Structure 1
C-alpha cells in the first residue's frame, strides 16, 4: 500500500527572492514583491514554495552567508512581511519550505566574531580552526590540501586569532564545527524556531558536508574537489542527521530535503530509506552530463542516451526522487538541454514533460515555466556570481585560459547568474521586475519572453506547465505509479509508462530536433491523448507514431 504524503503529491516552486519581484523600486527583490505575485503561483497550480535564504546576511554569497538565523535581511523586508507571506501562502493552500544553511555561517555572524576574538571562550570551538605550519620564510601554510568548491584553498588565515579556519565555500563562509554539541544545539534551536512559526519544512543546504574526517587528512590531489573524500558523507553524518530528525522533524509532517553534493545512489538510499533521516535528497548527476574534461568549468558533449540512462538509474534505484532541471545554482535548462532559439517552446515543454511525469517530487524554478533562457556576459565585470568570478580569475592566473574572452562561452553556459537574472513579468522597463535599476541586468529577450506574453499566446510554455501540473494533480499514476522505461537505446525517443493498479499512462517524447517515427507496442490503439505540446494531434494514436521535433504526447491506456 502506498503511503500518501503531501510532499509526494506537491509541485514545488522555488523563489529566489532577490530576483523575483521588487516592490519598492530599489532594484532588489523583496518579500512584499513576492506577496504581490502570489496570484501567478496560484494560477500555475503549485502546492509549495521553497524560499531561498532571506535571513540577515552581508550578501557576499546572496544569502547563503547567514549572519543571524532569526532575523530578516532588511533589503528583503521585515519579519512582519515574512509573517504576511506565510499567511497569504497558507490561505491559498500553498505550503512554505525555508532554506536552512547548517554547514557554515557568515564571518559577520556573532558566533564567528566571538570565536576569532576569544579562542578559549564559549564560541571558541564553534568553527574548525587549526594552527597549521609555516614555510621556510615563516609564512603560515594551510593545515591540509583541501580545496574550496568555489576554487582555491579551503583554508583562510585569520590574523586576529592567528589561526586558519576552514571554508568549503567562499572565504566569508566559515564551516561550523558539528563535533561541538553546542553547535548542534544552536542549529536545532534555530530550525525549531522557524517550525514554531508555522513553516512546512526545510531545504537543508549542502547538508552532506557537516561531518569532516578525524584529523583532517590530506585529500587525493586527483579529485575534482581535493579532500572531498574526507568531507562529503563524512564518518558522523548519519549521527548528525539522525539527531536533526529526532529533534526537529520527528512527529511533524514537515518535509526534510537535503542538498547533497557528490551524492551517489547508495548513500541516497540510506538518507531517504524507511529509517533514513531525510524525506528527499537533491543529487546532481544529470546536471553534470555536460561537464568537459576540466570539469564544471568546461563544456562537454552529452546526448539523450546519457540523460535517459542517468534518470532511469535514479528512477529505478531510489524509491522517491527530487525532480529538477533548474535551480538558483544551475543555468537555464532550455539553453542547456534544449534549443533556446528555433525550438524554444517545443524543447522547454519537452523538459517540462519529463519533470512533471517522472516519479518523484517536481521542483520548478522561477521563470522555468516561461522558458527563460541563459543570458550574456560580455566581461567578467558583468558577472555577480562570486563562484564564477573566483574560478575564472584562478583559471587565468594558473594559465589554464588566456583571458575572459577565451572562457566567456563557458561562463555564459555555466554561471549561476543565468538563473539569477530578474523574473520576466512583462515587456515594460526591466521586465516589470522593478521601477529602479535592477541589482543584476535583465535578460535582453524579456520583451519576447515574459509572463504577460505567455498568458496571451497560444500555445505557450506557461499554459503547458499549467496543463501538466493540473494533469499530475488529478492522475494518481503520475504521482504514485510505478515507472518502466522503454526503448532505452533509442537516440531520439524517451518513452516510459507510469502504472498504478488499472491506471496506466504512456509518455512519449521526441527529444531531438529531427522527426522521429516509431511503432510503440506499449501503446494501445484505443489510448486517449491527455496532453501534447503540439496542437493538431488526434485524440487516439496512429499505428505508427510520427513525432515532430521535441514533440510530446501523454496517453492514458484504456
Structure 2
C-alpha cells in the first residue's frame, strides 16, 4: 500500500485512484427530500440539499434506483432503464443533479440493477409472449416437473429471498421463469450474449453518456447460475422450498461476465464500480472480484459485519441472534487485513437501505446521552478504518430505528412482510413474536423512514398537510439536521470533524495497516493503525501511527492501552480526537460509556 504515496512538505501525494479516498453517501430518494408536497422524495429535493452534503464532506452521491418501476420492491424492479419514475422527476432533473454535483467537485453514481427486471419491462413482456420470441432466451425459462400422480411442480426446489419458490408459473406459455427475489422480478439470462450487450448499452452507456460517474452494482455475483439446475440439498426438512445460494452465487461464469462488463463499458468511461457481493464470506472468494490485475470491480460490499444478528437468510432471517463485541471485532479484523499484501481494495460501511440503523444495532439509543455518545463512537470507528467510506442518509445525524411501539402496519417492505406472513401462516405464536422482535431491530424499513431535516411538520421532509409515504419518526423534533447544524459538537458536527481528520491523515486512516488489540475483550474495541509512509529527514523518519480506543458499553471501562500510548518510548503522543463534548472532563486511563479516542503517535 505504501507504494501509492510519497511525502511532500505540502502534504501526501501519489497515484492513488480518486475513489479510494472519497466519501460516498447513499441517498434513498423516496425518503430524502420531497420538493412538491406529494409525500414522496424526489430528485429536485436532493438537488436542494447538495450543499448540505458538500459541506459535510461528501465526495460522491450514490443515488438508489429512481428508474421507471411499478415500485413493488422500491425501484429494484425496473420496467424502463432509460426513464425516471415520475414521482422522482425527469431525465432533465437527473442532468441537473449531475451538473450540481460536478460543479461542486462531487460525483454521482447510480444503482445498476441487472440481475433481474420488472415483469412489466418490455423485454420480459416479449419473452413471455411465446416460446419462439427472439427475447425468450433473455430470461430463464424451464418446463415443469410432474409427480407420478400428474401434479405439476417447479423445475427445482429452490427457495427465493422473499419466501416461496424461485420459479413462477406462466399460464400462457406453460413454463416457469426464474425469479430469485419476487415473482414480479424475473431474472435476466446472462448466458445470452445479446442480452448482455443490451444491458451494457441500455442500462449503462445511456447514463454514462449523460455524465454519470459509475455504478453501485446490485447483486453483482448472482448473474451466473448453475445451468444444470439441480435440486438443493434438504437442509430445512419441514420446508417445501430449500435455500440454494450455491446455485446462483459466484457461479461458473461470473468472473468472465464481470470482466466483460469492465472491459466493454466501465474502463472506456473510467467509471467507478462497487458491487454488492452477498453470500461470499471468505477473503479468498472476494479477492478475484477486486484484484486490480483481474480488472473486474474497483471494490465490493461484503456483508458479514452488517448481517450480525440476523438469522438464516432464507428461513428465519428476522429471528434475531444477539452477538458479542468480539464477533464484530473478528469481522472487522478479517476485512481490515484482507488487502494487506494484495492488489485488492475494501469498503467501510455499517448502514445501508437494507438494514436497521447502526446506532440502534451496534450502539445504544436507550437514552439521549447514550444515543449521542454511541453515535459519535460509531462515527469515530468508521472514519478510522482502512478502505473507501460509505455513509447512508441520516447516519450522520444518528437516526434511530422506528419506535418499538409501532405496529406491524407501519412496515412496508416486501421482504419484511414476506417473513412476517410466513410466521403467521405457521400458526406458531412464538415464531410470530420472535419475528416481530427481529423486525424491530433489523428490518429494512428502519433505514427508509423520511429524513429528519428539522422540527417542522413532517420533519421538513415534505410540506405540512402532506402524507409521507412512510411515517415520520416520533422523535424528529429532538433529532434533526437543523438542530445539529447549530451545534458543532452534535453528532452531525462530529461526523464532519471525523471526515476532515480522515483525509488529513489519509495515510493512516484510509490506507494504513490495522492491528487489533485485545480481540476477546467484550467491552473495549481497540486497534492500532499504522502508515507505510515514513515522515522526516534521513534516518530520523518514522512511521505514523494512531491508537484507536473505544468503549462499546454503557459502563465506564479501564483502558490500559491509553497509559501505554502516553508512555511511548520516543517521540510524541497526543490525543487527536475524543467523542466527549467540551467541558466533559476526561477520565484519564478510563473511558466513559461509549467514549472513543484517537491518539496520534510519532514513534521511531
TM-score tier by shorter-chain length is: over 0.9
Q: For residue 513 of structure 1, report the CA deviation from its aligned partner.
A: 1.0
Q: C-alpha distance in 2, partners of 1:252/1:503?
A: 36
Indicate which of 474, 493, 497 corresponds to 1:463: 493
User: Paired residue for 1:267?
Assistant: 285
User: Paired residue for 1:483?
Assistant: 514
Maintained 8 Å contact 1:529/1:553: yes
Q: For residue 275 of structure 1, report the CA deviation from its aligned partner.
A: 2.3
Q: For residue 71 of structure 1, report the CA deviation from its aligned partner.
A: 0.9
Q: C-alpha distance in 1, partners of 2:113/2:444?
A: 18
Does residue 443 of structure 2 align to residue 415 of structure 1? Answer: yes
User: Paired residue for 2:352?
Assistant: 327
Maintained 8 Å contact 2:423/2:435: no
- Please list the CA deviations of residues 437-482 of structure 1 after superposition, one character each: whole Å capped at 9, or x if unmatched: 1011111111111101112335211000000001112112212222
Indicate which of 301, 308, 314 corresponds to 2:329: 308
Q: Larger deviation: 2-11 or 136-145? A: 136-145
User: Paired residue for 1:367?
Assistant: 394
Maintained 8 Å contact 1:106/1:173: yes
Cα distance change of structure 1 residues 487 and 402 upon mapping to structure 2, 3 Å threshold:
closer
Q: Secondary structure at the match of 2:183?
A: coil
Q: For residue 380 of structure 1, report the CA deviation from its aligned partner.
A: 3.2
Indicate which of 270, 284, 287 corresponds to 2:303: 284
Q: C-alpha distance in 1, partners of 2:431/2:225?
A: 36
Cα distance change of structure 1 residues 229 and 300 upon mapping to structure 2, 3 Å threshold:
same
Q: For residue 418 of structure 1, report the CA deviation from its aligned partner.
A: 0.4
Q: Secondary structure at the match of 1:557?
A: strand
- Please list the CA deviations of residues 172-225 of structure 1 after superposition, one character each: whole Å capped at 9, or x if unmatched: 100000111111101111212211211111111001000011211111232796
User: Paired residue for 2:536?
Assistant: none
Does residue 130 of structure 2 align to residue 118 of structure 1? Answer: yes
Maintained 8 Å contact 1:331/1:374: yes
User: Paired residue for 1:227?
Assistant: 244
Indicate which of 255, 275, 284 corresponds to 1:258: 275
Q: Larger deviation: 383-392 or 406-415? A: 406-415
Maintained 8 Å contact 2:158/2:166: yes
User: Paired residue for 1:352?
Assistant: 379
- Please list the CA deviations of residues 346-366 of structure 1 after superposition, one character each: whole Å capped at 9, or x if unmatched: 111111111111001111100
Does residue 597 of structure 2 align to residue 553 of structure 1? Answer: yes
Maintained 8 Å contact 2:316/2:435: no
Maintained 8 Å contact 1:496/1:508: yes
Q: C-alpha distance in 2, partners of 1:522/1:146?
A: 55
User: Paired residue for 2:565?
Assistant: 523
Could you list the runs of 5+ residues in structure 2 that have no partner in the other structure?
5-14, 534-542
Over aligned residues, Cα RMSD in angstroms? 2.0
Q: C-alpha distance in 2, partners of 1:386/1:210?
A: 22
Q: Larger deviation: 324-333 or 520-529? A: 520-529
Does residue 80 of structure 2 align to residue 36 of structure 1? Answer: no
Cα distance change of structure 1 residues 548 and 221 upon mapping to structure 2, 3 Å threshold:
same
TM-score norm. by structure 2 comes to: 0.89
What are the equivalent positions in structure 2 for 1:57-456 lying under 5 Å apart?
57-135=69-147, 138-189=150-201, 190-222=203-235, 226-264=243-281, 265-276=283-294, 277-292=296-311, 295-318=316-339, 319-342=344-367, 343-376=370-403, 378-401=406-429, 407-435=435-463, 436-456=466-486
- Please list the CA deviations of residues 81-128 of structure 1 after superposition, one character each: whole Å capped at 9, or x if unmatched: 010001001111111111000100000000000000022122111101
Q: C-alpha distance in 2, partners of 1:432/1:444?
A: 13
Maintained 8 Å contact 1:320/1:359: no
User: How many aligned positions are there?
Assistant: 556
Q: C-alpha distance in 2, partners of 1:529/1:40?
A: 29
Q: C-alpha distance in 1, partners of 2:488/2:61?
A: 27
Q: For residue 490 of structure 1, report the CA deviation from its aligned partner.
A: 2.1
Maintained 8 Å contact 1:288/1:296: no
Maintained 8 Å contact 1:427/1:446: yes
Q: C-alpha distance in 1, partners of 2:274/2:259?
A: 14
Q: For residue 398 of structure 1, report the CA deviation from its aligned partner.
A: 2.7
Q: Secondary structure at the match of 1:202?
A: strand
Q: For residue 160 of structure 1, report the CA deviation from its aligned partner.
A: 1.9
Q: For residue 402 of structure 1, report the CA deviation from its aligned partner.
A: 5.8
Indicate which of 523, 526, 538 corresponds to 1:495: 526
Cα distance change of structure 1 residues 434 and 536 upon mapping to structure 2, 3 Å threshold:
closer
Maintained 8 Å contact 1:292/1:301: no
What are the equivalent positions in structure 2 for 1:19-30 lying under 5 Å apart?
19-30=31-42
Q: For residue 486 of structure 1, report the CA deviation from its aligned partner.
A: 1.9
TM-score norm. by structure 1 comes to: 0.96
Q: C-alpha distance in 1, partners of 2:174/2:498?
A: 57
